[in-house]
Structure formats: C-alpha cells, structure tokens
Structure 1
Amino acid sequence: MAGKFTTVAPVKTINAGFQLADGQTVGIAAPVIIQFDSPISDKAAVERALTVTTDPPVEGGWAWLPDEAQGARVHWRPREYYPAGTTVDVDAKLYGLPFGDGAYGAQDMSLHFQIGRRQVVKAEVSSHRIQVVTDAGVIMDFPCSYGEADLARNVTRNGIHVVTEKYSDFYMSNPAAGYSHIHERWAVRISNNGEFIHANPMSAGAQGNSNVTNGCINLSTENAEQYYRSAVYGDPVEVTGSSIQLSYADGDIWDWAVDWDTWVSMSALPPPAAKPAATQIPVTAPVTPSDAPTPSGTPTTTNGPGG
C-alpha cells in the first residue's frame, strides 16, 4: 500500500544533564538536579516525564527553581533526609517530548546513585563549636569561628547547607573584604555564596570563643583535615542561631531552606487529589427490626480477601 508522510523539524532541541554521576555515593541531603540548556515554557509536560524510585520508598517532590543563565532547572528532594543506604533511580523520558514553543527534548536520561552513611554537621554559631554527628553519635567536636556578622555579607547563613565540593588546597578571593588569591587548606564548600568549612591558622585565637570570619567556618589545620576527609557531596550542614536565612541569593542548592509545603507548591503539576474519606463503620450495630426474616438453611462460606 503506497502512502506518504511528512515530518516537522523542531524549532530547537533542548539538552539536559544531571549534577550527579551514575553510580555515585552521596550524603543524606543530596538533591537530584536536572539542568537544561534553555528556558522551558511547558514545565508541566517535562515534569510528567520524570520519575524517581527509591528503595526503601521515601516521600519526595520536584520543584522548579528560578532559571539560571544557561536555562531552566528542576530539583527533586525527599521530604526528610534519606535513610542511610537508600538507592535512588531517576528516569527522564525526554527524547522528542514537546517542551513548548516548538522545542523538543534532545535525549532520554537515567541516573542511579546510592546514599551512604548518615552524617550531619551541627553548627550553632553562638557556641563557637562545630559537631559532626553520625549514627554512632558525635564523632567530632571542634572549636571554630563563624562569620563576624558586623556586615550582612559576613553572616554565616542560617539553615541547612549541603556539601558540594572539597579541596585540599584552595585559593580564595573576596574583593569586598579586601583580599585576593589567599591559599587555604582543607576547604569544604557548603554554599555557592563563598561559605566553606576550612582551616585558617590566622583565626586560631578566636576559634572556640568568638566569631571573626567573613562568613566561613574556620577550624585549626588538624581539625579541618579530619573533617575534610569525612565529608562527601550531599552531607547536610545545619547552621543555627544566625541572623540571616540561607536563600536563593546564596547559590544553587538552598533546597532545604524551603519548608515542605512551599517546596511542593513549586512543582509545575497540580497537587494530587485528596483521597475520599473512608466510610465510618458504626461502633454499635442498629437494632434488628422485629419483622426481619429469620435466616434458614446452611450458610455458604466464601473465601475472599483476608480469608
């Protein structure tokens, strides 16, 4: 049978990528991030094509964060920290998917990763100390110095940060604070606003008694190295007692600074419909009418669910 068909070339295709590597082991607060190389007009269509499967099952949700210069981005995080040892599989069926305005998805993607041990950093700024906590208890308890807070830019931000990078040697610059290309050791990045946990011998006299930094958390060289060697991508760092909240202005991962109700409202899809209320069974059965028929014969037993 003869026939013909026509195809329509897409106006453009949009590429995407994960921030995690396939097979990576991460901390209990690591979000899933999909970064696109262009803005997306039909975010709902894209979100419907994304699935996350965890073992054991955990509650989580997608949220569209404000577009960055390179394009749209969508994050998925669990409602609470992952249990240690959770496996996570992400499936993005994006190839040929209409993204709106004549754009289509360039490729399908999948990702498998696992959650490692549970490790949380507790960082109360008024204590001038930092604690590293695992399921075994407090495994590190170090004197430190937080942001001086004389200026807003020097305040160590309040809220749950996430470890994203670490460097045994790092050169720091802060023109507003008057320094450039300063060599620091054992630097663990916890925010893209310039916050690190790192060694700083220059603040040794303040560590444990006062906050004097430009926003970083300063440790001794020995203590910084010990913490550095324990840290992995996705570990939460819970800063409390500070005057300024971590927010969108502070970098790419501020997911845990958003309360859960707000987070789910940032989805492009409507919330799932509420399940109807279960029929209530009365505690006391009604009285049998006096004129009701009396059963006779042999009753029949049927095996049903739960039988």
Structure 2
Amino acid sequence: MGSFVLTACSGGSGSSDAGPEARVTVSPAAGKEAALGSPISVKADEGRLTEVEVKDDKGQKVTGQLAGDGSSWTSDGKVGPKTTYTVRTTAKGGKDGKGRKSSSTSTFTTRPAPKVNKLTNTPGNGQTVGTGMPVSVLFDHAVDAGKRAEIEKALKVTTQPKVEGAWGWVKDWSGQDRIDWRPKDPWPSGTKVSVNGNLSGIDSGEGGWFARNYDFGFSIGADRKAVIDVPAHTLTMYENGKPVGDIKGSAGSPQDPTRGGIHTVRSKNADEVMDSATIGYGDKWMLPSKWVTHLTASGTFLHSAPWNDSVGVENNSHGCFGMTTADAKKIYDFLPIGATVEVKGTTSTKQTDVGNGLEVWQETWQQWQKRTAVK
C-alpha cells in the first residue's frame, strides 16, 4: 500500500513558530495507484495532528476518527475504486503539541475495480409506506458468502422512535442476492427510518467492489392491513387494528389454493393483463384487469375479475383473490405499498419463499434472525 511522509517542506506551509516540526505520514502514498480495500490513515511522529480533511474527486468528504492524543487519524470506511483522494493535514510539532505548526497536502488515486457492485433499495428515498414494509437491498452482482458479514455490518438502520429489527440474507425471485431488514413486529405508524450503507471500498467477492456509500430514508404511514378469510370468500380491511369494511371475492380453487400466511404489498398497477403464461398455464388466457395489487413476485394478486360470474360465491381462481372492479379499486386505494395481507383458512400447504416478493412475514422472528451473516 505504501505511505508518504509530509513535512512543511514537502508540499506544506510551515509557520515561524519555534520548536520541532511534526512528521506526518499518509497512507496510501501519493503518486502511486493504491490498492482497493484499505482505509486511509494519517500518522504524526514527533507531533500531534490538529486537523485532517479528506475529500474525493467529487468533493465528498471522507469521515474519520482522530485519536485523542492527536497521533493518528483513520477513515471510517475504505477507499473506493477509481477515485482520487486529497488529504489535507494540520499538525503541531513536539510531544506536547506546542512546537511548530505545519500544514500539508497529499493526493493519491485508487485502482479501478474489475466490476462495480451497485444496489437498488426498497422503499425509495422519501417514500411513505405501510407498516409491514421491510428495508430491502438488492445487489447488481453476486455477493460471496464470506463477504456478507462485513457488508451487513456496514449497513445501519436508525429509527425514530426506536424499533427492534434485524438484517437477513435473501435470494430474490430474480436470482439476485438481497439483504432485508425487518422489524420484529410491524412498524408503529409515523415511524421515521434512515438507512446508511458505508459500503464504498468493500469487496463483495467474485471481482465486485462497492464504489460509493448509500443513504436513504422513508416514513411509515397509516396502519392499514387486510385479512382474507378463504372459506368465507371475504376480505376484511383494518385500520388502526379495527375492521372498517368487508369485500366479497373469490380466492384460489381447491386445485390452485391461495397461498397462506402474511404477505406484503410489493407494488400496484392500475391496468394489467392477466397472462396465463406467467403462472405456468401456457397461452390459455389473456384477460385485461384493473386495480391490481401485487403480493408475491410469482403472481399472487388482488385484482378485478369482471369475467368471473362467481365472485364472492365460489373460490375458483388460480391463486389470486378476484373481485368486482369497484371493490378492487377500494382495496387498491386502501392498501399502501408495504401493507400486509394475511390469508387464513386456505388449503395450501406451500410456504411462500421470503424472496418471492417482500415476504419477510412468512417467517417467525426466531426464523428470521437465523438469516444474519454476523455470528
């Protein structure tokens, strides 16, 4: 990695103060292409550091910690790929820090990464979501199992008020690696959530590196959810824990029963075509539908079914919960992204995989905690 020794006569400006002058060493060294995966460190011999400022070539400050005795400074994170860093220091000579004052500058550039691993976060920054929404982080490239603990430790969730929760590693329906943070229990309405990913310079394995840090936040909105009673052909809406209305509909048939447990609303679409090929039925139907609320990635939806003459009388769908167009609109408007929909009384014995949507509530808290990579 190398280091570079700075004194007042090596690019800095000394003062006329009497006494010894500090010898400041910056690592990685100036003038060489620095290796990835290392922190930035500054040390002062024969003196004390009084100020350290580090910025990258985009003008972003690099945070770090100055030792209490002024002998060293270390960055909070690691150097990112293909980035130029400028390190400016001020120090005073002598063990007591009362010697000559000097200021110095060092610049170095890091190597490019074989490939840059980026992430996509859900919810989006500034969004207001339902009380069942997890923090979900999807990675562009695979994450090596041996690198997961370091990545998990670099991700922080801060909430106001304080909410207990935990990270868990998930295989997304797309096949990509994902890490989700779910609260132990559904969020209290009104919670403010901040997520910080100090990932720049972390090796994700298989040639991938993170090139930047991430910060985003979101809010928890109204406490709304729905419960489907399959045998009763009924969906009940709840707000603040109290029922506020029932809707009749048709769940999955005995041959294709609706999957049970607690699902999370992952997305919504005002107009959609129900395509049989997407759920393994070939080209049997292409049916236009309105007010579609998506639960699983594999195709469990709440939607209008104007073609079904048995809505509210018979469970005859292929796993979705179909309603009249007017009732589907009510549900579409009532349930925000991140709200939960619990399915009770189904004959389905299949447990939905956590990565098949935002299905973190399919597991108990004890099961979820086992998904951590930090031991």
TM bucket (normalised to shorter chain) is 0.7 to 0.9
Match of 2:222 among 114, 117, 127: 117
- Partner SS for 2:188: coil
Determine the structure 1 residue equivalent to 2:364. 259
Q: Which has the higher helix share?
A: 1
Q: CA deviation at 1:149?
A: 2.2
1:203-224 Cα deviation digits (max 9, x unpaired): 24x2333201111101112111
For residue 221 of structure 1, what is the amino acid of its counterpart? T
Contact kept, 8 Å, 1:164 with 1:189, in 2: the verdict is yes
The verdict on how the C-alpha distance between 1:179 and 1:76 changes in structure 2, with shifts beyond 3 A counting, is same
Alpha-carbon distance in 1 for matches of 2:171, 2:372: 12
Match of 1:168 among 270, 282, 285: 270
Determine the structure 2 residue equivalent to 1:158. 260
Q: CA deviation at 1:70?
A: 6.3
Q: CA deviation at 1:136?
A: 6.8
- Asked if residue 73 in structure 1 is aligned to residue 178 in structure 2, the reply is yes
Determine the structure 2 residue equivalent to 1:278. none
Determine the structure 2 residue equivalent to 1:43. 148
Determine the structure 2 residue equivalent to 1:224. 328
The more displaced of 176-185 and 115-124 is 176-185
Alpha-carbon distance in 1 for matches of 2:192, 2:351: 28
Match of 1:7 among 27, 34, 37: 34
For residue 251 of structure 2, what is the amino acid of its counterpart? Y
The verdict on how the C-alpha distance between 1:67 and 1:26 changes in structure 2, with shifts beyond 3 A counting, is closer
Q: CA deviation at 1:180?
A: 3.5
Determine the structure 2 residue equivalent to 1:237. 341
For residue 171 of structure 1, what is the amino acid of its counterpart? V
For residue 264 of structure 1, what is the amino acid of its counterpart? Q
Q: CA deviation at 1:259?
A: 1.4
Alpha-carbon distance in 2 for matches of 1:50, 1:231: 29
The verdict on how the C-alpha distance between 1:220 and 1:69 changes in structure 2, with shifts beyond 3 A counting, is closer
Please list every run of 5 or more consecutive structure 1 residues that lacks an aligned counterpart in the other structure.
271-307
Q: CA deviation at 1:164?
A: 1.5
Determine the structure 2 residue equivalent to 1:200. 305
Contact kept, 8 Å, 2:224 with 2:237, in 1: the verdict is yes
Contact kept, 8 Å, 1:39 with 1:67, in 2: the verdict is no
Determine the structure 1 residue equivalent to 2:93. none
The verdict on how the C-alpha distance between 1:230 and 1:7 changes in structure 2, with shifts beyond 3 A counting, is same
The more displaced of 89-98 and 246-255 is 246-255
Please list every run of 5 or more consecutive structure 2 residues that lacks an aligned counterpart in the other structure.
1-5, 11-28, 36-110
The more displaced of 59-68 and 218-227 is 59-68
- Partner SS for 1:212: coil
Contact kept, 8 Å, 2:353 with 2:359, in 1: the verdict is yes
- Partner SS for 1:239: strand
Contact kept, 8 Å, 1:64 with 1:268, in 2: the verdict is yes
Q: Which has the higher strand share?
A: 2
Q: CA deviation at 1:89?
A: 0.4
1:149-187 Cα deviation digits (max 9, x unpaired): 22xxx2210011111121221111013445343101111
Contact kept, 8 Å, 1:45 with 1:99, in 2: the verdict is no
Determine the structure 1 residue equivalent to 2:126. 23
The more displaced of 54-63 and 10-19 is 10-19
CA RMSD across the alignment: 2.0
Name the count of aligned residue pairs: 266
- Partner SS for 1:57: coil
Alpha-carbon distance in 2 for matches of 1:203, 1:180: 13
Alpha-carbon distance in 1 for matches of 2:284, 2:267: 22
- Partner SS for 2:367: helix
- Partner SS for 1:203: coil
Contact kept, 8 Å, 1:197 with 1:216, in 2: the verdict is yes
Q: CA deviation at 1:247?
A: 1.8
Question: How many percent identity over aligned positions?
Answer: 29
Alpha-carbon distance in 2 for matches of 1:227, 1:194: 17
